[in-house]
Structure 1
Amino acid sequence: MRLSTRLQLSFMMFLEFFTWGAWFVTLGTFVLHNLKGTSDGDISTAFLTQSYGAVIAPFIVGILADRFFSAQIMLGVIHLVGAVLLWCCGSTTEFGAFFPLVLTYMVLYMPTLALVNAISFRQMSDPSKDFSLIRVFGTLGWIVAGNIIGYLGWEQSNMLQLTFKMAAISSLALGLYSFSLPKTPPLKKGSKIDVREILGLDAIGMLKDKSYLIFFISSILISIPLAFYYNFTNPFLNEIHMKAAAGTQSLGQVSEVLFMLIIPFLFRRLGVKWMLAIGMAAWGVRYFLFAHGDIDAKLWMLIIGLLLHGVCYDFFFVTGQIFTDRKAGEKFKSSAQGFVTLATYGVGMLIGFLISGPIVGHFKTGPDTHDWQSIWMIPAAIAVTVLLFFMIAFKDKDKTQTKVINY
Structure 2
Amino acid sequence: MNLKVRLALLNYLEFAVWGAYLTCVGVYLTKIGMASMIGYFFMIQGIVSIFMPAIMGIIADRWVPAQRLLGLCHLMAGLFMLAAAWYGYTEGNNSEFAVLFSLYSISMAFYMPTLALTNSVAYSALVKAGMDTVKDFPPIRVFGTIGFICAMWFVDITGFMSNHNQFVTSGVLSLLLFLYTFTLPACPIARDGDKQSFVDAFGLKAFSLFRHKDMAIFFIFSALLGVCLQITNGFATPYIESFKSMTEYVDTFGVQHANILYSLSQVSETCCILLIPFFMKRFGIKNVMLIAMFAWVFRFGLLGAGNPGNGVWLFIASMIIYGVAFDFFNISGSLFVDKTTDASIRSSAQGLFMMMTNGVGATVGALIAQAVVTLHTSSEGVEWKTCWYIFAAYALTVGVLFALVFRPNKDKLNK
Structure ranking higher in helix proportion: 2
**How far apart are the structure 1 equivalents of 2:118 and 2:195?**
24
Superimposed CA distance per residue, residues 112-152 of structure 1 (whole angstroms, 9 cap, x where no aligned partner): 01100001111234221111111111000001011112222
- Quote the residue 2:145 is aligned against: 139
Cα distance, 1:215 vs structure 2:
1.6
Pick from 14, 18, 22 the counterpart of residue 20 of structure 2.
22
Distance in 2 (alpha carbons) for counterparts of 1:402 and 1:227: 33
Match in the other structure for 1:12? 10
Paired with 2:371 and 2:209, the residues of 1 have a C-alpha distance of 35
Residue 155 of structure 2 corresponds to which residue in structure 1? Answer: 149
Q: Which residue of 2 aligns with 1:72?
A: 67
Following TM superposition, by how much is the alpha carbon of 1:358 offset from its aligned partner in structure 2, in angstroms?
2.0
CA distance in 2, matches of 1:244, 1:193: 47
CA–CA distance in 2 between the matches of 1:344 and 1:212? 14
Choose which of 283, 287, 302 in structure 2 pairs with 1:270.
283
Name the CA shift for 1:21/1:189 in 2 (closer, same or farther; >3 Å).
Answer: farther
Aligned to 1:38: 34
Q: Give yes or no for the alignment of 1:203 onto 2:209.
A: no
Deviation of 1:55 after TM superposition, in Å, equals 1.4
- Determine the C-alpha separation between the residues in 1 that align with 2:315 and 2:277: 28
Partner of 2:172: 169
Q: Is the 8 A contact 1:14 1:138 kept in 2?
A: yes
CA contact (8 A) 2:16 2:144 kept: yes
C-alpha distance in 1, partners of 2:9/2:85? 25
In 1, are the aligned partners of 2:74 and 2:177 still within 8 Å (CA)?
yes
- What are the equivalent positions in structure 2 for 1:44-63 lying under 5 Å apart? 44-63=39-58
**CA displacement, residues 324-349 of structure 1 (integer Å, 9 cap, x when unaligned):** 11112322221111111111111111
Q: 2:85 matched to 1:90?
A: yes
Which SS does the other structure have where 2:378 is aligned? strand
Equivalent residue in structure 2 for 1:222, among 210, 220, 225: 225
Equivalent position amino acid for 1:218 in 2: F
1:238 corresponding residue in structure 2: 241
For the 8 Å contact 1:68–1:189, the answer to whether it is kept is no
> Secondary structure in 1 aligned to 2:205?
helix
CA distance in structure 1 between the partners assigned to 2:349 and 2:227 by the alignment = 21
- Shift of the 141–192 alpha-carbon distance from structure 1 to 2, 3 Å rule, reads closer
- Compute the displacement of 1:389 (Å): 0.8
Q: Distance in 2 between matches of 1:400 and 1:65?
A: 33
Using the alignment, how far apart are the partners of 1:20 and 1:334 within structure 2? Answer: 25
2:270 to 247, 250, 257: 257
Offset of residue 399 of structure 1? 4.4
CA contact (8 A) 2:49 2:355 kept: yes
Give 1:353 deviation, angstroms.
Answer: 1.3
Aligned partners of 2:57 and 2:117 also within 8 Å: no
For residue 371 of structure 1, the aligned residue among 371, 383, 387 is 383
Counterpart of 1:317 in structure 2 is 330
For the residues of structure 2 that align with 1:267 and 1:142, how far apart are their CA atoms?
27
Distance (Å, rounded) in 2 between the aligned partners of 1:79 and 1:227 = 23
Q: What TM-score results when the alignment is normalised by the length of structure 2?
A: 0.91
In structure 1, how many angstroms separate the alpha carbons of the residues matched to 2:157 and 2:233? 21
Superposition deviation, residue 173 in structure 1: 0.8
1:56–1:107 Cα contact (<8 Å) kept: no
Secondary structure of the 1:123 match is helix
How far, CA to CA, are the matches of 2:287 and 2:344 in structure 1? 27
**Aligned 8 A contact 1:80 1:171 in 2:** yes
For residues 352 and 210 of structure 2, the distance between their equivalents in structure 1, rounded to whole angstroms, comes to 11
Shift in Å at residue 269 of structure 1?
0.8
The one-letter code matched in structure 2 to 1:265 is: F
More displaced stretch, 297-306 vs 55-64: 55-64
Per the alignment, residue 129 of structure 1 pairs with 135
Give the Cα–Cα distance (whole angstroms) in 2 for the partners of residues 123 and 402 of structure 1.
32
Spell out the pairing of 1:238-387 with structure 2 (5 A cutoff). Answer: 238-241=241-244, 242-366=255-379, 369-387=381-399
User: Using the alignment, how far apart are the partners of 1:32 and 1:190 within structure 2?
Assistant: 52
CA displacement, residues 230-255 of structure 1 (integer Å, 9 cap, x when unaligned): 21111111112322111111101111
> Conserved in 2, the CA contact under 8 Å of 1:149 and 1:244?
no
State TM-score, norm by structure 1.
0.92
Contact in 2 for aligned 1:49/1:102 (Cα 8 Å) = no
How far residue 400 of structure 1 moved from its aligned partner, in angstroms, is 6.2
**AA matched with 2:104:** V
Q: Matches of 2:187 and 2:13 in 1, distance apart?
A: 19
Q: Take 2:344 and 2:196, find their aligned partners in 1: how far apart are those partners?
A: 18
Report the Cα offset of residue 49 of structure 1. Answer: 1.5
User: After the TM superposition, which parts of structure 1 deviate over 3 Å for at least 4 consecutive aligned residues?
Assistant: 188-193, 399-403
- The residue type paired with residue 180 of structure 1 is T
Q: Is the 8 A contact 2:336 2:413 kept in 1?
A: no
Identity of aligned residues (%): 33
Contiguous gaps of at least 5 residues in structure 2:
89-94, 245-254
Alpha-carbon separation, structure 2, partners of 1:246 and 1:148: 9
For the structure 1 residues 377 and 126, does the alpha-carbon distance in structure 2 shift closer, same or farther, using more than 3 Å as the test? same
RMSD: 1.8
Residues matched between the structures, number: 394
Partner residue in 1 for 2:248: none
